[in-house]
Amino acid sequence: MSIRIGASCVCDIGGSTDDCLVDEVRFEKNDRFASALNWVKHDISVGKYVIANITLGDRTSFLSLSETDWRNWCNHVVYNIVKVGANPSNCRLTIDNEPMEHLTKEQYRNYVNIAYDEIKFRKGYKFLIGAGNEEFDLAFAEGNMYDYLLETRAQKLCNFDVLDIHIQSSCNTPAKLKRWKDWMLAKKAEYNIKNISCTEANWMDVATLEGYEMLLSQCNAAEELGCSDFCIVFITLSEIERYQWLSFIYNNQVRSPYWEDFKNFIKSKKPIEKEEDMEFKAIYKRGDRGVVVKFIQEALNVYLSLTGSSLEKLEVTGVFDAKTDTAVRAFQSGLLLAVDGLVGRFTMEKLIEVSPESFSKLIYRWGRGER
C-alpha cells in the first residue's frame, strides 16, 4: 500500500517543503494568485503531485457571484496552471474549502456542477475534480453534506470524481478515527467509491508524542481506506501564532522533534515509481506480449475485484488479448480516462496506483531480465 503525504493550505496561510509528495494549493480570488501559481510550478518541477483548490478567498462573494463569473474564474485557474506545466498525471482539481461555512449543501452542489461542466465539458480538460473538503463533523451538523453529495452523485445530479474529506478535530482520538473509518467503509460499499482523498488532516500538536502518534494513526487509517492523498493542515507556517502548535516548522524553525522521523515516514509511503532503467514502450495494445502485459493484467484484476465488476478476472498470460482489451476499456471508463483500449502513460500510471504490489513484481521480473 502507499499514499502521497504532504501539505494542505499551501499559499493560503501555510507552506510546504520538498520532502512532501503532494500539496493542496489554494487559488483564491485575491493578490495571492501569483504566489499559488508559483507553488504549482515549483511543485511540478520537483516531482510533487498538486491538488489545485479553486475557491474565492472572500467567502461572502460566493453568494453574489454570477454563474458566468464562477465559470470564468474556474477556467482562469485551470488555464494558468496548465501554462506552468500542470496536466492530469501530475495534478487534479478540487472545489472550495470548507464550503459549509458559507454555503448550503445545495448551493455547494450547484457550484461543483458548474465547475465540472466548465472544465470537463466546455473546455475539455481531463483533470480529475474533487468535491467535499469539509470538516467531517461539521458536514454532518450541516445536513449530512457528504451523504448528500454521494446520493446526488449516484442519482447523476452531482458531478465529481474524487471525494475529498477533512479529518482534523473530527478524528483526533482513536474512537473518533474508528467512527470515520467505519462510515467510510460503509459508504465505499454502498456507493462503490473509487477515489478518496484527505485534503486536510491533523488537529493535534505534532511537537508532542501523543499528537505525532495520532497524526500517524490518521495517515495509516487513510491509507487502509485507499485514500490517494493525505494533506496535513500545516507542514510549515509563518507569523500566525495561534496555529503554530499544528505545524512541524514555524517561522522557518523546526519546532517538532519528530520532523526527521516524519520525513522518513513520508518516504516510506511513497507510491512506487518506474525505475529509470525500465524503458517501457510508449503504448501497449492488443497483440502485445511480455512481463509488462502480465503487470497490466494483474493490476486490472485488482481493479475488477475492488470495483465488484461483472467482468471475469483475466488469466495472467502476458498476452494482450480481447479480454484484456475489454478490461482496459472498463478501467479507463471507470477512471474517466480516454477509452481507447491503449495502455499509454496516463493509463499505466493509474494501473500502478491501483496495484503497487503488482508493479513491485514487475520490477523484480524486469531485474531478472524478463521482458
pLDDT of residue 364: 66
Q: What does the pLDDT look like over 119-164, one tens digit per residue?
A: 999 999 989 999 999 999 989 888 899 999 999 999 999 999 999 9
- Calculate the CA 109 to chain-centre distance: 19
Query: What's the rounded Cα separation, in Å, for the pair 19 and 223?
Result: 19
In CATH terms, is domain 4-268 a member of 3.20.20.80? yes
Kindly tell me if the per-residue pLDDT of 168 is higher than 80.
yes
pLDDT of residue 33: 92
Kindly tell me if the per-residue pLDDT of 277 is higher than 60.
no
The cell for 119 is 472544465
pLDDT of residue 275: 52
CA 37-39-129 angle, to 5 degrees, is: 70
Query: What's the rounded Cα separation, in Å, for the pair 127 and 354?
Result: 18
Kindly tell me if the per-residue pLDDT of 304 is higher than 70.
yes
Per the CB < 8 A criterion, the answer to whether 72 and 123 are in contact is no
- Indicate the pairing of strand 249-250 with strand 253-254: antiparallel
Q: What does the pLDDT look like over 339-352, one tens digit per residue?
A: 999 998 889 988 98
**Fold (CATH) for 291-367:** Muramoyl-pentapeptide Carboxypeptidase; domain 1 (1.10.101)
pLDDT of residue 363: 76
Per the CB < 8 A criterion, the answer to whether 314 and 305 are in contact is no
Domain boundaries, the chain: 4-268, 291-367
